[in-house]
Amino acid sequence: MFKDPFDPKTFLGRRCSCGGRHAEADHARLTAAAQPGSPEVRGEEARWSRVVDAAVLRAVFPVDAQRRLFLKTVGRATAMAAISSVLPLGLAREAFAQGGAPEKKALKIGFIPITCATPIIMAHPMGFYSKQGLDVEVVKTAGWAVIRDKALAREYDAAHMLSPMPLAISLGVGSTSVPWTMPAIENINGQAITLAMKHKDKRNPKDWKGFRFAVPFDYSMHNYLLRYYVAEHGLDPDKDISIRSVPPPEMVANLRADNIDGYLGPDPFNQRAVYDGIGFIHLLTKELWDGHPCCAFTVSKEFATQNPNTYRALLKSIIDATAYAHKPENRKEIAKAIAPANYLNQPETVLEQILTGTYADGLGGVKKDPNRIDFDPFPWNQFAVWIMTQMKRWGQLKADIDYAKVASEVYLATDTAAMMKEMGLTPPDPSKKTIMVMGKPFDVAKPDDYVASFAIRRS
């Protein structure tokens, strides 16, 4: 922390012994801050304000001894008031931090207890929200329909959703139409197909006729990926198998009760089925599409426009937490932070296996795949277009839409890129993203041709 420049005992030297234009005491901090990605790059309003105060004081009292004498004689409050009358310190601080104080500090964010929500959840125990001056309560929610209704009812200020949900809500598909935005993806990969133990010899999807599968929600990557996968193997997902919507936490219990034969679901419930000897991991979704999006951090458009500073602070904490979760060396610490009953309520070893990618597959083998789940906030518009082609393919979306327009309105890639730049991270080039699902390339410029290229489809 920077020293308080209004404290007469503080020594504010102008030059450091290293020759740089900063105080000796600030040397270590400033040089560390120069390296992007170090923890010091993270914005901290309090620290910025002291930096600004110190700079202003130095300008007013070029000789440090005079400043200390002045402060000692008139006192801190008078000095602050006197200087503020000449130069409003508040404004200078604000300009420096590029953003005012949040309009709303006490926020409620809904989440589903799955590892996809890791950045949203861990930001609470690990202090990423409070660092931005926000007082966030993360509320565990029972299912996707409930989280959607609570978010639409403004009970939550922001919500963890599946990446197709903000598109569906904005388009009014399976919901009332409300403009919804997704400024950050939470995780990429990190899902799996889990089958009941009794099917351990039926590894070829062609043998799955009549299987009952569960997915978390109709508007989920899970649903689209499972449909895609079985359709590529010649099964019609609406006729040859049955797919039902089951809240993720209830999947393992249903698998145990033999209500379903398997599921394409989020972790920790794939690994949990293995942990309890109920099912095995047939494949990770990264084997279908490496780098596919899954869950998302979403807010209503209304909230973002009415509370621009809160929105910025929130997005900053999420990007910050996501960048932290991206680093493999932090994963064990995160597993420990989100395991308690207040968050995921799971055995720590289950979460550790998911996050580190060294896991038991349920068939007696230990597999290693560090990219089993990864965290990357960038909301590629290409993802949105792909998702909408699948909505179209399976008949969820009937009307003709302008794919690119909807994508850019909901997936706020520009906001995210600007924020990443501000935080010292390098945003990717928004146009450079290739999507390859099960070896088939996707051309974002020709979504309708893509839909028409599938033999099994509903439209």
Partner 1 sequence: MAILKNSLGLRAGLLSLLILAAILGLWQIATMPTAASGPAVDPEYAKLVGNAAATGSKAALPTPADIGATIWGHLSDPFYVRGSNDKGIGIQLAYSLGRVLLGFGLAALAAVPLGFLIGMSPLVYRALDPFIQILKPVSPLAWMPLALYTIKDSAISSIFVIFICSVWPMLINTAFGVATVRKEWLNVARTLEVGPFRTAFKVILPAAAPTIMTGMRISIGIAWLVIVAAEMLVGGTGIGYFVWNEWNNLSIANIVTAILLIGLVGLALDQGLARITRLVTYPE
- Judged by the rule CB under 8 A, the positions of this chain that interact with partner 1 are 113, 137-143, 145-146, 149-150, 152-155, 197, 249-250, 252-253, 256, 272, 274-278, 340-347, 349, 353, 358-360, 362, 364-366
Rg of the chain over Cα atoms, rounded to whole angstroms, equals: 25
Considering the complex, state which of residue 85 and residue 176 has its C-beta at the smaller distance from partner 1.
Answer: 176
Q: Residue 111 CB, nearest distance to partner 1 (Å)? A: 9
Considering the complex, state which of residue 113 and residue 379 has its C-beta at the smaller distance from partner 1.
Answer: 113
In the block, residue with structure tokens 């390098």: 426
Amino acid at 37: G
Q: Residue 238 CB, nearest distance to partner 1 (Å)? A: 24
Considering the complex, state which of residue 79 and residue 251 has its C-beta at the smaller distance from partner 1.
Answer: 251
Considering the complex, state which of residue 62 and residue 364 has its C-beta at the smaller distance from partner 1.
Answer: 364
Name residues whose C-beta falls within 8 Å of residue 323's C-beta, 6 or more positions apart in sequence.
37, 375, 377, 423, 425
Instruction: Give the tokens for residue 189.
Output: 């990969």
Considering the complex, state which of residue 27 and residue 104 has its C-beta at the smaller distance from partner 1.
Answer: 104
Measured CA to CA, the distance from residue 243 to residue 202 in angstroms comes to 18
Q: How many CB atoms lie within 10 A of CB 91?
A: 12
Considering the complex, state which of residue 168 and residue 423 has its C-beta at the smaller distance from partner 1.
Answer: 168
C-alpha 31 chain-centroid distance: 29
Q: Helix, strand or coil for residue 364?
A: coil
Q: Helix, strand or coil for residue 297?
A: strand
Q: Residue 206 CB, nearest distance to partner 1 (Å)? A: 28
Q: Residue 355 CB, nearest distance to partner 1 (Å)? A: 13
DSSP state of 374: E
Considering the complex, state which of residue 164 and residue 247 has its C-beta at the smaller distance from partner 1.
Answer: 247
**Is the Cβ–Cβ distance between 155 and 139 less than 8 Å?**
no
Measured CA to CA, the distance from residue 231 to residue 359 in angstroms comes to 28
Measured CA to CA, the distance from residue 29 to residue 40 in angstroms comes to 7
Q: Residue 271 CB, nearest distance to partner 1 (Å)? A: 9
Indicate the burial class of 8 (C-beta count within 10 angstroms; 0-12, 13-18, 19 or more): middle
Considering the complex, state which of residue 59 and residue 257 has its C-beta at the smaller distance from partner 1.
Answer: 257
Measured CA to CA, the distance from residue 170 to residue 402 in angstroms comes to 13
Measured CA to CA, the distance from residue 7 to residue 9 in angstroms comes to 5
The string of DSSP codes covering 146-178 is HHHHHHHTTSSSEEEEETHHHHHHHHTSSS---
Q: Residue 284 CB, nearest distance to partner 1 (Å)? A: 16
Q: Residue 212 CB, nearest distance to partner 1 (Å)? A: 19
**Is the Cβ–Cβ distance between 319 and 187 less than 8 Å?**
no
Q: Residue 248 CB, nearest distance to partner 1 (Å)? A: 9
Name residues whose C-beta falls within 8 Å of residue 47's C-beta, 6 or more positions apart in sequence.
1, 2
C-alpha 35 chain-centroid distance: 24
In the block, residue with structure tokens 């801050």: 33
Considering the complex, state which of residue 190 and residue 268 has its C-beta at the smaller distance from partner 1.
Answer: 268
- Angle of helix 221-232 versus helix 381-393 axis, rounded to 10: 60
Q: Residue 198 CB, nearest distance to partner 1 (Å)? A: 11
Q: Residue 342 CB, nearest distance to partner 1 (Å)? A: 4
In the block, residue with structure tokens 């973002």: 304
Q: Residue 242 CB, nearest distance to partner 1 (Å)? A: 22
